[in-house]
Amino acid sequence: MGKSIESILKKYDNCSRDSLISLLQEIQENEGFLSEEAIVKTGKKLKIPTSKIYGVATFYNQFRFEPTGKYHVMVCRGTACHVLGSLTVLQELEKVLKIKAGQTTRDGLFSIEVVACMGACGLAPVININGSFYANVTAESIKEIIESYRKKEE
Amino acid sequence: MSIQIEVNGKKLEAFEGETILTALKRNGIRVPTLCHMNDFIPSGACRLCVVEIVGNPRLVSSCSFPVSDGMKILTNSPRVIESRKTIIELLLSNHPDDCLYCIRNNNCELQSLAKEYHVIERRIHGNKNSFKLDHSSTSIVRDPEKCILCGRCVRVCEETIGVSAIEYINRGSKTLIGTTMQKGLNTSSCVNCGQCIMVCPTGALTEKNQTHMVQDALQQKDKTLVVQYAPSISVSIAEEFGMAPGTDINGLLNAALRKMGFKYVFDTTFGADLTIMEEASELIQRITEGKTLPMFTSCCPAWVKYIEEFAPDFIDNLSTCKSPQQMTGAVIKSYFAEQSNLKPEDIISVSIMPCTAKKFEMQRETMGRNGVKDVDIAITTRELIELIHLHGIDMKTIQPEITDSPMGVRSSAGKIFGATGGVMEAALRTAYKKITGEELVDFKINAVRGFEGRKEAKIKINDDLEVGVAVISGLGNVRALLDEIRNGKNDVHFIEVMTCPGGCVAGGGQRIGVDRSFIEARTKSLYDIDDRETIKVSHKNPEIIELYDNYFGHPLSHKSHELLHTCYMERDVLL
């Protein structure tokens, strides 16, 4: 965090449209997400219509368009986790938080991100909340995990 | 170079470098496609045009595969047909299946192909996506659920129009066509031209249909119903009623509109003449008084919006003249209202346009006064056809009628507004007279006619003045010209821009599914009218002369500025 969109864009002064993805990645790294403002400014910089940028960005799972929540839940959907039921975990999580992957709850507390593999296949299905790993998660345990974070906030 | 190919056992001639599809088409062999468009680089998205090449283990998409000498092609082998049928079934597997309630019923490429390939049962069940209807635009409605992702609209918007308001969003089975941040067309850079509708194979893109508003208006007995129709309308609907494409059915149209219940039928071509009177005077004023040049025409509402969004540095170059639709509307609610002892608010003014952007233009803030709009409802050619059918009017048995005064007489200069270059030609005829005091010897200005995307010419007015003109057909061609002007190009004084390639005869509100020959027939018809008729210049239209004598005084007068001119503003949209 810290660098403004302008200062990032400045680095791409003589760049063409091929730099789009690395530019978006850098903005997301700083801002946590791609805002409408960021997309408009990127479009002006690289002379690409915003619709094209949005199209490219939505093609990849890595980009999000809402700020992350206070607790950012990453759900692994890699092969090992998939085999051991990560889809049920994700669906249950979406139900509990009443948001979809890529979204943030209205109170700004939780956000969900689906990731391809965390490299912790031995712990499958695995999730990660703000850096802490939770192993062998089930549809039941995910509810308790979320509840524990909610309690913290009370 | 000419080469030989064999198609279904028959030898045919093809040319090196062309695609199989092009060669087949030229030889009269029809291959189904859902994504192919003439004059576009093939995308190969829909796979319906697959054919079998003997010796090639895989089917190839004929739209993107080049011919080669001695190639043996099977266009209708059982394998090909099975494959195409499966593609159609897959497309239908997540389609809403509400054909009966769809505006494109009986005029849908997907529906026709399903019938052609004998798809009579649902073999494949797919998960249906639930996407939101985008109702936000004044002109265009998008229903992503009916979309088959052929990508034609995306390509037209980018390559022909140069706007790129829509794009593929997301990936895989979640893919849809949408706008930036999925905020809807009204906050996008969409200029409402409707060319996306013209290429959509299904009902995913349609105009914002307002026939029900016309129907309601026709029932309001305490109001006076007035209708106007654009110059291109009378030559654009004949084929719907079994007549030759391009036939001018002006008289029948008047009769049909009266049968529908309109009390007064006016011709927007009169407004076109009025536009020319004002616009030619404005051009001369700009040239003689050294004001901002080049001047841009302002008849095309999509083009006007484009400038407001993409090139606000050129706003002062836009002619301040309202478009013919709005001028006619303004005269209806002022001069005509006064003459007929009607209150402007008691008139419902309907316009019939070849254009979806006119629905946007009529609701612009500056298009009216004292809470009274110049035009109340703007419908497209398609909606007009719907209304004619709805009212059970048999165009073959009715007798032609004439338009009403004081906006019934027109010049043929106003009529050619419907084709690319028409506004330019009409304006030059009147400007020439205004500057030199004499009429042009030959009214035909061939340099500005024709379908090319960009035409330029120098018109010698007198020894001191040569006017440089440029005509743009297809909005995508304008960007380069604007850049040239920014970089110092100064040999053009007057630029006409029409967003739709070919002009209003090919507008986004016209009948869907017509090919180029229809557009050419409509254009020819307009120019034939110009050849045939005697009043070839706007300033000789007797009703125009009368209007200025009785009401406006002269072009660019205080009154005409009040009623016939407008202003523009920079627009903040997601470019």
Beta bridge partners of B350: B227, B377
Kindly state whether A67 is in contact with chain B, defined as any CB-CB distance less than 8 angstroms.
no
CA B515, B518, B520, B526 torsion: positive or negative? Answer: negative
Q: B251 in helix, strand or coil?
A: helix
Q: Residue ranges of the domains in chain A?
A: 5-59, 71-153
Alpha helices in B343-410 (DSSP H): 357-361, 381-390
Q: How distant, in Å, are the alpha carbons of B225, B266, B511 from that of B260?
A: 10, 14, 20
Identify the helix (H) or strand (E) that includes residue A114.
strand A110-115
**Closest chain B CA to residue A35:** B181
Q: What is the DSSP string of B183-244?
A: --GGGBS-----HHHHH-SSTTEEE---HHHHHHHHT-TTSEEEEEE-TTGGGTSGGGGTSP
User: Is B164 at the interface with chain A, CB within 8 A?
Assistant: yes
Hey, is B278 helix, strand or coil? helix
pLDDT beneath 70: ranges in chain B: none
Residue ranges in A3-100 assigned as alpha helix (H): 5-11, 20-31, 36-46, 50-59, 79-83, 86-97
Q: Is residue B164 part of a domain?
A: no
Torsion sign across C-alpha atoms B296, B188, A5, A118: negative
Q: Which of B166, B230, B496, B143 is nearest to A49 (CA)?
A: B166
Domain stops at, among B90, B115, B136: B90
In a domain? residue B183: no
The region, left, alpha or beta by phi > 0 then psi within -120 to 50, assigned to residue B7 is beta
CA of A139 vs chain B CAs: smallest distance (Å): 24
Position B337 in a domain = yes
A1: pLDDT strictly greater than 60: no
- CATH number where B22 lies: 3.10.20.740
Q: Which of A39, A52, A58 comes nearest B164 by C-beta? A: A52
Nearest CA in chain A to B174: A59
> Which of A34, A39, A48, A51 should be substituted to probe chain B, the one whose Cβ sees the most B Cβ atoms within 10 Å?
A51
Contacts of B171 in chain A (CB under 8 A): 58-60
Residue A2: pLDDT band by 50, 70, 90 thresholds?
Answer: low
User: Do the domain assignments include residue B141?
Assistant: no
State which of B90, B109, B128 marks the end of a domain: B90
Q: Are B349 and B375 in contact (CB under 8 A)?
A: yes
Helix (H) or strand (E) holding B13: strand B10-15
Residues B411, B552 within the same domain? yes
CA distance B478 to B475: 6
Whether residue B528 is found in the same domain as residue B388: yes
Q: Do B167 and A65 touch (CB under 8 A)?
A: no
Indicate the residue among B39, B68, B90 that finishes a domain. B90
pLDDT band (50, 70, 90) for residue A4: confident
Q: Are B309 and B571 in contact (CB under 8 A)?
A: yes
Q: What span, in angstroms and rounded, lies between the C-alpha atoms of B35 and A105? A: 40
Q: Contact, B469 vs B449, CB < 8 A?
A: no
Residue B480, domain extent: 212-564
- Read off the CATH number of the domain in which B482 is found: 3.40.50.1780
Give how many domains chain B has, as a whole number. Answer: 2
Buried/exposed B287-320: b ≥16 CB within 10 Å, e otherwise: beeeeebbbbbbbbbbbbbbbbbbbeebbebbbb
Please give the helix or strand (H or E) that residue A144 lies within, else none.
Answer: helix A139-153
Structure tokens at B28: 């009269």
- Look at residue A26 in the predicted model and tell me its pLDDT: 93
Q: Decide if B445 is inside a domain.
A: yes
- For residue B173, give every residue at least 6 positions away whose Cβ sits within 8 Å of its Cβ, in sequence order, or none: B127, B129
SS3 B368: strand
pLDDT the model gives residue B127: 86
User: Which of B142, B153, B161, B164 to probe the A interface (max A CBs under 10 A)?
Assistant: B164
pLDDT digits over B508-542, tens only? 999 998 989 999 999 999 999 999 999 999 999 99
CB B209 within 8 A of CB B490: no
* Beta-strand relationship, B264-267 and B224-229: parallel
pLDDT of residue A78 exceeding 60, the answer is yes
Buried b (16+ CB within 10 A) or exposed e, B230-264: bbbbbbbbbbbbeeebbbbbbebbbbbbbebebeb
User: In sequence order, what are the residues at sequence separation of 6 or more whose Cβ sits closer than 8 angstroms to the Cβ of residue B26?
Assistant: none
**Arch. (CATH architecture) of A71-153:** 3-Layer(aba) Sandwich (3.40)
Q: Report if residue B155 sits inside a domain.
A: no
How many Cβ atoms are within 10 Å of B116's Cβ, its own excluded? 13
What is the 8-class DSSP label of residue B574? B
Q: Do A51 and B164 touch (CB under 8 A)?
A: yes
**Tens digit of pLDDT for each residue in B413-458?**
999 999 999 999 999 999 999 999 998 888 889 999 999 999 999 9
Do A54 and B180 lie within an 8 Å CB cutoff?
yes
In chain B, the residue whose alpha carbon lies closest to the alpha carbon of A64 is B181
